[in-house]
Amino acid sequence: MFKAILIDKSDDQQQVSLETLDETRLPEGDVTVRVVCSTLNYKDALAITGKGPVVRHFPMVPGIDLAGTVEHSSVDAYAPGDAVLLNGWGVGERHWGGLAEKARLDSRWLIPLPAAFTARQAMAIGTAGYTAMLSVMALEQQGVTPDQGEILVTGASGGVGSYAVALLATLGYQVVASTGHLEEADYLKGLGAQAVIDRAQLSEPGRPLAKERWAGAIDAVGSHTLANVLAGTCYGGTVAACGLAQGMDLPASVAPFILRGVTLVGIDSVMRPYADRVVAWRRLGELLEPAQLDAITRTIGLEEAIDTASALLAGEVRGRVVVAMSP
């Protein structure tokens, strides 16, 4: 038996509860993992509250991240006792996910837990930090260097934004953090932001082109914010788009692309190939310090996940939330 957050639906009404389930209910897979920690991401909160079409079939255990120990394996790649990590692959959407004490998975979705991290530390990073690292790598691959000027991070007090600020600052970039929570300015400056601006400067409809300011940007917000970021990006700059907190639309013009040669790079973390995942997690181990993880993270129990999901969507959660399966 194991405990899990279970989402079900009847008569078009979604129900979510903490349940005790028999292991025979686990879905198909060639590896069974005893989950040590999971996380609460924005997507998880949408799934739990039913405020977004995340769950593809019911019943579903949410949780797009997990870290734990292999209990059973029918493949050579993993053996009982191996520490493993998972991000994405439709887990928590189409396949039972990490907000449970056990998970049965396709071994191809796993990577070994990096030696630099405990399970809790890996989940403090989770998809949010992993996505931030992929975004930073995209800027690097496009030739954006610290000496070129300011790098903007939108949604900076959220999980992706917090890690983007910390990673960029560690690499020597001049980071400007945009947030709707100006009371978090000290927190963001503690992560390495050199300046903090109100998201209201970017969130309303703007001009096709604005004054050039950003050498590059990591945007976790989308919609008018992303349009305004593109409009203010310097000639030859790069913007990595990795989120949609404001919306999925992009009410922008082609002007930044054809008049300033701006590059817009899309960041997908869900289906990223194994090799990219390993590189991203290796670099996270090289760049992040335990103190940074502690500053960004708080830990809750599985029984608190449902209520915390609503708080996350209401903008009441700063940084990252780790869900520990046992105290």
- Residue 175: which H helix or E strand, with range? strand 174-179
* Cα separations in angstroms, 47 against 217, 235, 237, 289, 313: 28, 39, 35, 31, 11
**Is residue 20 domain-resident?**
yes
Q: Is the pLDDT reported for residue 316 higher than 90?
A: no
Structure tokens at 201: 């400067």
Range of the domain at 63: 2-113+289-324
For the chain, how long is the longest CA-to-CA vector?
61
Please give the pLDDT value at position 318. 79
> What one-character DSSP code corresponds to residue 46?
H
Q: What does the pLDDT look like over 140-197, one tens digit per residue?
A: 999 999 999 999 999 999 889 999 999 999 999 999 999 999 999 999 999 999 999 9
CA–CA gap between residue 145 and residue 89 (Å, rounded) = 31
CA–CA gap between residue 146 and residue 173 (Å, rounded) = 4
**Is residue 41 domain-resident?**
yes
3-class secondary structure, 178 = strand
**Hey, what's the torsion of the CAs at 26, 32, 38, 41, to 10 degrees?**
-60
Please give the pLDDT value at position 42. 87
**Is residue 31 domain-resident?**
yes
**Is residue 274 domain-resident?**
no
**Is residue 119 domain-resident?**
no
Looking at the structure, do residues 209 and 102 belong to the same domain, yes or no? no
55 band by pLDDT with thresholds 50, 70 and 90 = very high
- Residue 169: which H helix or E strand, with range? helix 159-170
- Whether 1 and 19 have beta carbons less than 8 Å apart is answered as no
Looking at the structure, do residues 311 and 221 belong to the same domain, yes or no? no
Looking at the structure, do residues 176 and 238 belong to the same domain, yes or no? yes
Nearest partner of 107 among 216, 28, 53, judged by Cα = 28
Q: What does the pLDDT look like over 113-133, one tens digit per residue?
A: 999 999 999 999 999 999 999
CA–CA gap between residue 31 and residue 128 (Å, rounded) = 24
Across the chain, mean pLDDT equals 95
Q: Is the pLDDT reported for residue 327 higher than 70?
A: no
DSSP 67-98: EEEEEEESSTT--TT-EEEEE-TTBTTTB--S
**Is residue 282 domain-resident?**
no
Q: Give the mean pLDDT of 58-79.
A: 97
CATH number of the structural domain spanning residue 162? 3.40.50.720
Residue type, 308: T
Please give the pLDDT value at position 59. 95
CATH number of the structural domain spanning residue 14? 3.90.180.10
CA–CA gap between residue 293 and residue 287 (Å, rounded) = 11
Structure tokens at 310: 């609503």
Q: What does the pLDDT look like over 7-53, one tens digit per residue?
A: 998 888 899 999 999 999 999 999 999 999 999 998 999 999 999 88
* Cα separations in angstroms, 284 against 115, 116, 191, 209, 277: 11, 9, 15, 35, 11
- Whether 321 and 40 have beta carbons less than 8 Å apart is answered as yes
CA–CA gap between residue 125 and residue 116 (Å, rounded) = 12
Looking at the structure, do residues 150 and 85 belong to the same domain, yes or no? no
**Is residue 118 domain-resident?**
no
Residue 282: other Cβ atoms inside 10 A:
14
Looking at the structure, do residues 132 and 109 belong to the same domain, yes or no? no
Tell me the pairing of strands 195-198 and 174-179. Answer: parallel
Please give the pLDDT value at position 293. 87
Q: What does the pLDDT look like over 196-230, one tens digit per residue?
A: 999 999 999 999 999 999 999 999 999 999 999 99
Looking at the structure, do residues 260 and 293 belong to the same domain, yes or no? no
**How many domains, in total, are found in the chain?**
2
Q: What does the pLDDT look like over 87-116, one tens digit per residue?
A: 999 999 999 999 999 999 999 999 999 999
